[in-house]
Structure 1
Amino acid sequence: MPLKIVYKPCTLHFRKEAGTSRGILTQKTSWILQVADSEQPGLTGYGECGPLPGLSVDDLPDFETQLIDVCDLFNSLDLDVFPFNLGIILDQVVPQHLPSIRFGVESALLDIMKGGKRKPFKNDFAEGKTGVLMNGLIWMGSFDDMFAQVEEKLSQGFTTLKMKVGAIDFDKECRILESVRSRYHKDQITLRVDANGAFKPEDVEQKLAVLSAFDLHSIEQPIKAGQHTLMATLCQNSPVPVALDEELIGVFDYREKFALLKKLNPPFIILKPTLLGGFRHTSEWIEIANRLQIGWWITSALESNIGLNAIAQYTAAFNNPLPQGLGTGQLYVNNFESPLEVREGYLYYNVEKGWELPAL
């Protein structure tokens, strides 16, 4: 079955401005992949390449040119894909420094291998029998806007909230956390915060001490990546458990992954398959974290429902009891219709609903 791959760019528009410490997002471009079998008309697999501006190592001016090169190489090889050669194909066709393309190609190949039904992983979630527990994400914004987001997420049944910090006044961010904690004990509502590396070395310890008053579950990436000596100290001594996120981006060699986690020894790591190079690389991080007794959870990275679906099904296979970060499918006004639904703080795959996918 010689496979052929094509792609199409898609601009996703946010329902409202999404604030992060790296700026405000109003739209995002993803490149949708479709793999087809020339000998089986109608059999297709879908994937998504969506590098995050300013964060992905393949956020490059010539990204589309490199994607074209990958597709051309793929199409020149008359490939068949099976479980035993999937990794070989990825290693030969997609360079390591293009993690989002690797994620997209891997997702599309897994999809077509499983019959082209948008079920790249077989588990109870994909069959609509179970949901995946999620955190409700609170984007950066004005005090009133962030407070309104908190109220909305609580009304939707979320029991874990993740709040972006580091963009507005730190005291105002603390007031929001204080408001939630004054009404809900940590046994009722779990609070996570994500600094996206916004805290400075000279004040990070003081800010962590202040944040510890709110019984937080964890803080993601309190300082910028690459400051290993300071980060190791924070992982050891912070009154708020540290979760590494950006620190993992761009590390593809297994031995380097192990050395990094061994050196920093964080309580948690956050795994974004689009940024890490797909599911095989994500699985390596999980295997190492389990060996070193480091907690982990998986987070989407502003993918459309195509990428989110693959990540959710992969995540469900692990039965990880921690809330996952998979709620971004609701962000866009022009997302692809899919069976994915959020109900009472869980993500579900509603088998009664179908897909509306782009023609490529």
Structure 2
Amino acid sequence: MPLALKFAKHILKFKFDAGTSRGVLKTKEAWILKVCRKDDPKIFGLGEVSTIERLSFDYSVDFEAEFEDLKKSLSQEELPSSKEGIFKLVSRVVSEFRPAIRFGLETALLDLFHGGNFKIFDNSFYNSEKGIPINGLIWMGEKDFMKKQIDEKLKLGFKCIKLKIGAIDFDAECELLKYIRAQYPADQLILRVDANGAFITQDVLKKLDQLAAFELHSIEQPIMPKQPEAMQLVCEKSKVPIALDEELIGVFGKREKTELLRDIKPDYIILKPSLLGGFAATAEWIEIAESQNIGWWITSALESNVGLNAICQFTNEYDYVGHQGLGTGQLFENNIHSPLAIQGEEIVFNQTLSWDFGDLKFN
């Protein structure tokens, strides 16, 4: 029986002004896709199309027009009988240049495939048997605001903290790192920083030398992406391990991915399925990275709990080592209520809790 698609727009509101090196975020647009068989609308799967302005490859797309076209395409398709079939279907009906839509459609179809119970992958996370360790995320802002966040995360028991840097005075940021290390040495607390491309190439190595004093686990995207020769030099010379993040966005095809990692030689890559084109694309990045002995971890990208749930379940498909970046669901005052919860430094799926979509209306 052919498939039917509906969609709804949801504007997520941040609990505070979320500062990054690209500016301050106050709201974020999300689209929720609803897919069912035309003859059985009561059983449906949900997925999220999530973009970030000036970061996502397809953030400026007219999504309503795209979804109307997708409706027509899906009306000629049936639900595949396997996960692999779902990935092939998505790659056939959605261009690789629409990574956010691929992520949302993969999620909705996998949910429908498993009976429409928010099960994207049948594993120990969904079955409430296992949580996923995550890093505590510290957002940019005034020094006192950042210090308050740090203290709160440490009190909650986080063993890995990630700081956004590059927006306030660099010396003040170093003072924050010094403050943390004075209380928690490297064998007690893992420190990650994310520059979001804030450093300029002329002095990035000097700043990385200064940051090395704080025994950092890694720094994400120290310089702006699409400077492969400069980034390769940074990876070669830096005393702090380098993780690529924005560098991966807009890179499609196994050959292009392989060449990028081979040429730049980072220590780690950061994987955001909603920015990279979904789970099939993310799995390909993991395969390539592991073949080159490059570490990786998975991160959410400001999705609502619909997208975050799917990413957590995907993450649990791997025998991952280390802390993942899956705590951003706490940032919104009007997030979709879900069974996702933070317990200590882990995100868990508590099946005793329910989903609640409020007054969300599907077209």
Q: 1-side partners of 2:271 and 2:141: how far apart?
A: 25
The separation in 1 between residues aligned to 2:70 and 2:2, in whole angstroms, is 16
The answer to whether 1:81 aligns with 2:80 is yes
Counterparts of 2:312 and 2:77, CA distance in 1: 30
- Deviation for aligned residue 1:71: 2.9
Q: Which runs of 4+ in 1 moved over 6 A?
A: none
Q: Distance in 2 between matches of 1:3 and 1:211?
A: 53
1:196 aligns with 2:175: no
Structure 1 CA distance for aligned equivalents of residues 52 and 241 of structure 2: 26
The residue number in structure 2 matching 1:337 is: 337
Counterpart of 1:82 in structure 2: which amino acid? S
Cα offset, 1:351, TM superposition: 1.2
Q: Distance in 1 between matches of 2:103 and 2:56?
A: 12
1:162-311 matches, cutoff 5 A: 162-311=162-311
Report the Cα distance in structure 2 between the residues aligned to 1:257 and 1:160, rounded to whole angstroms: 28
Amino acid at match of 1:64: E
Which position in structure 1 is the counterpart of 2:11?
11
Q: Using the TM superposition, give the Cα deviation of residue 89 of structure 1 relative to its aligned residue in structure 2, in angstroms.
A: 1.3
Match status 1:347 vs 2:347: yes
Distance 2:203 2:237 in 1: 15
Residue deviations 1:100-138, cap 9 Å, x none? 000000000010001111011011111001100000000
Q: CA deviation digits over 1:49-79, x for unaligned, max 9? A: 011101011011523322332233223x142
- CA-CA distance at 1:319 after TM superposition: 2.3
Give secondary structure in 1 for the equivalent of 2:106.
helix
Aligned-residue offset at 1:325: 0.3
SS of structure 2 residue aligned to 1:54? coil
Distance in 1 of aligned mates of 2:186 and 2:199:
24
| Deviation, structure 1 residue 359 | 4.7
Secondary structure of the residue aligned to 1:155 is helix
Specify every segment of 5 or more residues in structure 1 that has no aligned partner in the other structure, as ranges.
Answer: none
Alpha-carbon separation, structure 1, partners of 2:196 and 2:10: 26
Which residue identity lines up with residue 318 of structure 2 in the other structure? F
Query: Which amino acid letter does the alignment assign opposite residue 324 of structure 2?
Result: Q
Distance 1:93 1:61 in 2: 16
Provide structure 2 residue ranges, at least 5 long, that are not aligned to the other structure.
Answer: none
Letter in 2 for 1:96: E
TM-fit CA distance, 1:40: 2.6
CA contact (8 A) 2:79 2:113 kept: no
Distance 1:228 1:250 in 2: 14
Identity %: 48
Q: In the alignment, which residue of structure 2 is the partner of 1:21?
A: 21
Q: Write the mapping of 1:27-46 to structure 2, written as runs, cut at 5 A.
A: 27-46=27-46
RMSD of Structure 2 on Structure 1 (CA): 1.1
By how many angstroms is 1:39 displaced?
A: 2.5
* CA deviation after TM superposition for structure 1 residue 268, in Å: 0.2
- Offset from partner CA, 1:206-264 (integer Å, 9 cap, x none): 10000000000000000000111111111122100000000100011111000111111
Q: Give CA-to-partner distance per residue, 1:152-194, whole Å, 9 cap, x none.
A: 1111111100000100000111111000001101111110000
Instruction: Return the alpha-carbon distance in structure 1 between the equivalents of residues 215 and 71 of structure 2.
Output: 48
Letter in 1 for 2:133: L
Equivalent residues in 2 for 1:120-159 (5 A)?
120-159=120-159
Matched residues in 1 for 2:108 and 2:314: separation?
13
User: How far apart, in 2, do the equivalents of 1:293 and 1:78 lie?
Assistant: 39
Aligned to 1:66: 66
Give the residue type in structure 1 aligned to 2:52.
L
1:54 aligns with 2:54: yes
- Report the alpha carbon displacement of residue 42 of structure 1 after superposing the two structures with TM: 1.6
Question: Which amino acid counterpart does residue 141 of structure 2 have in structure 1?
Answer: G
- Deviation larger for 55-64 or 261-270: 55-64
Write the mapping of 1:309-324 to structure 2, written as runs, cut at 5 A. 309-324=309-324
Between the two proteins, the alignment pairs up a number of residues equal to 359
Q: Which residue identity does 1:144 align to in structure 2?
A: D
State the partner residue of 1:116: 116
Q: Is the 8 A contact 2:2 2:74 kept in 1?
A: no
- The CA distance in 1 between the partners of 2:166 and 2:283, in whole Å, is 30
> Quick one: which amino acid aligns to residue 43 of structure 1?
I
